[in-house]
Chains A and B, each alone.
Chain A
Amino acid sequence: GENVEQHPSTLSVQEGDSAVIKCTYSDSASNYFPWYKQELGKGPQLIIDIRSNVGEKKDQRIAVTLNKTAKHFSLHITETQPEDSAVYFCASRGSTLGRLYFGRGTQLTVWP
């Protein structure tokens, strides 16, 4: 089955700096890559996603890039704010419908 690896496991940045989280996947049939933000005591929130026919997608301070050849995708957060502090999960969807494969998560802490 699909294997998704996510790095780093923890990331601390100063407010205003950028943060980058990277994921790799193994299944070349994977075609959809969402990112979820999970705050303490809450469910995961879909914040951005990208499909395999696109290389980059932006939504205000958040962007995701995808390199299908290298099988990796990244989340970029610019001008970080303390409210960006949360656990971020990358995921991929391969050939099994409805099944998302998650990375192990990154705890992002933004210091004021």
Chain B
Amino acid sequence: DTEVTQTPKHLVMGMTNKKSLKCEQHMGHRAMYWYKQKAKKPPELMFVYSYEKLSINESVPSRFSPECPNSSLLNLHLHALQPEDSALYLCASSQVETAYEQYFGPGTRLTVT
């Protein structure tokens, strides 16, 4: 089973709202990732967590705040977003950060109005 789940599937938020995206995996993976994908573009890495600790932050603006409360869960807290932040937000996981295979979830389609 290589399933990564993400909720919600769709989210519309205003620029003053605070919302959170959730990602879950039950494969025992210890590395989890957030990616942002704009239409007709490849995924862009935002954050990597390894053993619940932040390992990589790709200079993402502070209005995006990741959190890894335990080895199965990854959250992305959103605050004061801009319309250009509208995108598909993908979560992925791998056995460990040094493992090769990364498995993606279905994504959350975010629209900022």
Q: A44-B90, A46-B102, A51-B100 given as contacts; is B33 within 8 A of A98 (CB)?
A: yes
Instruction: Please tell me if B73 contacts chain A, counting CB pairs below 8 Å.
Output: no
Interface size of A in residues (CB-CB distance below 8 Å): 21
Across the interface, B90 reaches (CB within 8 A) one of A43, A46, A93, A99, namely A43
Question: A34 to B102, Cβ gap below 8 A?
Answer: yes
How many A-B residue contacts, CB cutoff 8 Å? 55
Question: B100 to A93, Cβ gap below 8 A?
Answer: yes
Question: A49 to B33, Cβ gap below 8 A?
Answer: no
List A28-57 residues whose CB lies under 8 Å from chain B: 32, 34, 36, 42-46, 49, 51
Question: A105 to B42, Cβ gap below 8 A?
Answer: yes
Across the interface, A97 reaches (CB within 8 A) one of B40, B90, B98, namely B98
- Say which one of B60-68, B78-86, B104-112 lies at the interface with A: B104-112
Please encode chain B, from 5 to 48, with 1 for each CB lying within 8 Å of some chain A CB and 0 for all others.
Answer: 01000000000000000000000000101000000111101001
B-side contacts of A100, CB under 8 Å: 45, 102
Question: A32 to B100, Cβ gap below 8 A?
Answer: yes
Question: Taking CB as reference atom, which chain A residue is nearest B88?
Answer: A43
Instruction: Please tell me if B71 contacts chain A, counting CB pairs below 8 Å.
Output: no
- Besides A49-B100, A89-B42, A100-B45, 9 new A-B residue pairs in contact (Cβ under 8 A), listed by A number: A34-B102, A36-B104, A43-B90, A44-B90, A89-B43, A97-B55, A99-B48, A102-B42, A104-B42
